[in-house]
Each structure stands twice: as C-alpha cells, then as structure tokens.
Amino acid sequence: MQLKIILSILLVFNFIFVNAQTQDSDPYQYDKKTDIILFSAGAATLGLGVYLNSQVPPLTVEEIGLLDKNAVNRLDRISTGYASASAQVASDYVLFSSLALPSAFLASQKTRKHFVKIGVMYTQVLLLNAGLTDLTKKLFLRTRPLAYNPDFGIENKLAKDARYSFFSGHVSAVASSSFFAAKVFSDYFPNSKWKRVVWGTAIVTPMVTSFFRIKAGKHYPTDVIVGYAVGASIGYFIPHLHQKIRKKSPNVNLSVLPTGGYFSWRF
C-alpha cells in the first residue's frame, strides 16, 4: 500500500515535469562559500543534536504520573486526547512519498541534465532541516501529547522520544521537500501551466501531514505550525541562495526630436 501511494505521487509529478515547457538557461550556480556554509551548518546542528540526545534521560514513571493535561495551553490541549494508529501510519506514507519527490526531476531532459546540482541542493535541504529539527527537539525537551493520554502504553511514555515533541520532524521534512520541489520546478519552468498545481500540492501536503501527526497524538498544533514554517523556509530559500544573479544590461535610448536630441541611459 505504501509503495503504491509513493509511486502514484511520483507518476503524477513525472507527468508534470515531462510536459513542462523548458527554458534554455540553468537558473542555478555553484558557489563554494554558500555550499560550505550550508553543509557546515547542517552537519554542526545535526552533530550537536546527536550529542545532546545521549545526555537526555527519558521520563520516569513518577514524572509521567505527575503530568496534567490541564497544564497544557488551551490551543495544544486538544492533542492530548488523540491516539490514532492509522494517522501515524498515514503520516509515514506522506513523509516517505515527499522525500522522494525530487527524483521526479529525472523525468525532464532539462532538469535531468542538471540533476547533480539539484541533488547537491536537496542534500543541503535535508541535512540542514534534520539538523535544526533534531537540535531544537533536544533543547526544548517538550513532552509529547501521548504522555498525557491513558490510551498509550507506558512503554511509549518511557521512551526518550516522548520528550521530543517540539517541533514536528515529519512536518518540517515534508514541507522542506515539497517546497524545494516546487521552487526548483518554478525556476526551471517559470512559464509552465502546472505551476499552480505544483505549488498547491507543496502547500497542502504538509498541512495533511500536520493533521495526521496531531491525530496520532504525536504533536501539538504549535509543533506542526513551527515545523511547517521551518521546513518550508529551508526548502524555498536554499535553492533561492543558489540562483544565478541576473545582471541587467543598461538600456540606452537615443531619440531625435524636432526641437533637438534626447539621450538616456538606464540601468
């Protein structure tokens, strides 16, 4: 079932990329300084997150017993009553499907020719998003809503992962992948009639993931909101940072009028 969903999504995007209008110029360029900064930031945050994970103790039975859902703010409290296993599975399906989206760029001759460059940018997106997400989880140590819910077994609550609610890694990963795919598509095919479909899909998919994560009892609304914002920003701005700087040519205008001449030079 999971494989069918992933293949269906990829087939749709393959159709879009194959039928998109191509343009002659490659919108992206390598920049050593930018690449070093992005890879270093991603590796540093991810490494620090891994280290902090080794220092975080799980909740104790006593601490779990003292948890009171009424202490959770009113907006987020709704999540403490959800425990949908099917929503958990569905969120995983969407995650894996979204992570594979950039492979659809292989369908178009234009993007396939620059797939290594696209792959480098996507690696930066995944690395930086994973690093920031992991580090933030270890710094905030926010207890997941499932820890307040009697429908979850004690083994779920005693797991170290029960302390890593903020912010949602599923949502940030889906948002970063989908926004990356939409941004790259728009830059390669700026005049494509499919742009609205691509961007609409990019915007809605993390929302669907957010719904599933809340229903699964894994996250609060504020977790998924922040995860969406962080992931979408990373997915959009990393390709933006690699865009070629378009130099405007000076516009020279020479006119001959009955009363004399007119000369202008605009940049």
Query: Contact 206/171 with Cβ under 8 angstroms?
Result: yes
Query: Contact 143/65 with Cβ under 8 angstroms?
Result: no
pLDDT at 108: 87
Q: In the chain, what are the helix, strand and coil shares in percent, each to the nearest 5?
A: 70, 5, 25
Collapsing DSSP to helix, strand or coil, 261 comes out as strand
Tokens at 128, concatenated: 């930086």
Is the model's pLDDT at 73 over the cut of 50? yes
Q: Please give the model's pTM, rounded to 2 decimal places.
A: 0.84
Query: How distant, in Å, are the alpha carbons of 45, 115, 121, 230, 239 from that of 243?
Result: 25, 15, 11, 20, 6
pLDDT digits (tens, 9 = 90+) for 3-25: 444 444 444 444 444 444 444 47
Contacts of 103 (CB under 8 A, 6+ apart): 10
Instruction: Quote the mean pLDDT of the chain.
Output: 88
Tell me the CATH number at 97.
Answer: 1.20.144
Query: Contact 79/220 with Cβ under 8 angstroms?
Result: yes
pLDDT digits (tens, 9 = 90+) for 90-118: 999 999 999 999 999 998 888 999 999 99
Query: Contact 148/218 with Cβ under 8 angstroms?
Result: no
The range of the structural domain enclosing residue 201 comes to 2-266
Q: What band does 53 get if pLDDT is binned at 50, 70 and 90?
A: very high
Tokens at 53, concatenated: 């994970």
Tokens at 12, concatenated: 């749709």
Widest CA span of the chain, in angstroms?
94
* Neighbouring-strand partners of residue 254: 263
Is the model's pLDDT at 260 over the cut of 70? no
Count structural domains, the chain.
1
